[in-house]
């Protein structure tokens, strides 16, 4: 096999592996994030302020995405990690469950994008 026949594949693998969290959020489909949010997150996070039917009974309360302040770091990577691995992975509440086994990765990046769009 000649080297240039695999070069495009190698190049795309390298590019895929260096795509940053910010790139993944930038290219994510916010409508997909919104859809997943209403299915999995609304019961606690509600309209984004944490006023969902279950959320308003919780202590600590669900994060308020309208103010946009985060407890476990506010970078796209940090938010993605909390969604994927749960807040307990950062020393927080187990009520914020790990969603990594339930929600596909591209949808989790889309959730990060959607959550950011709720900030007023």
- Please choose, from the candidates 49, 77, 69, 47, the residue with its C-alpha nearest in 3D space to the C-alpha of residue 61: 49
CA–CA dist 82, 100 (Å, integer): 9
Residue 30 contacts ligand HEC per CB under 6 A: no
* In the complex, least distance from residue 72 CB atom to ligand HEC, rounded to whole angstroms: 3
CA–CA dist 78, 33 (Å, integer): 17
* In the complex, least distance from residue 41 CB atom to ligand HEC, rounded to whole angstroms: 3
Site string for ligand HEC, 37-76 (x = CB under 6 A): ---xx-xxx--------xx--x-x-xx------xxx----
Residue 110 contacts ligand HEC per CB under 6 A: no
Copy the structure tokens of residue 66.
């309208």
Non-local CB neighbours of 51 within 8 Å, separated by 6+ positions: none
Residue 111 contacts ligand HEC per CB under 6 A: yes
* In the complex, least distance from residue 52 CB atom to ligand HEC, rounded to whole angstroms: 7
Cα dist. 55→15, 43, 98, 117 in Å?
40, 6, 16, 20
**Binding positions for ligand HEC, rule: CB under 6 A:** 40-41, 43-45, 54-55, 58, 60, 62-63, 70-72, 79, 82-83, 87, 92-93, 95-96, 99, 111, 115
């Amino acid at each position: 096999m000649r080297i240039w026949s695999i070069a495009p594949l190698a190049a795309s693998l390298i590019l895929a592996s260096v795509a940053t969290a910010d790139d993944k959020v930038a290219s994510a489909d916010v409508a997909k994030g919104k859809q997943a949010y209403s299915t999995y997150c609304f019961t606690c996070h509600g309209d984004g302020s944490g006023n969902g039917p279950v959320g308003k009974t919780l202590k600590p309360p669900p994060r308020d995405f309208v103010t946009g302040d985060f407890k476990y770091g506010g970078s796209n990577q940090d938010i993605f990690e909390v969604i994927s691995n749960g807040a307990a992975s950062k020393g927080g509440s187990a009520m914020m469950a790990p969603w990594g086994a339930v929600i596909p990765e591209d949808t989790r990046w889309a959730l990060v994008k959607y959550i950011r769009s709720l900030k007023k």
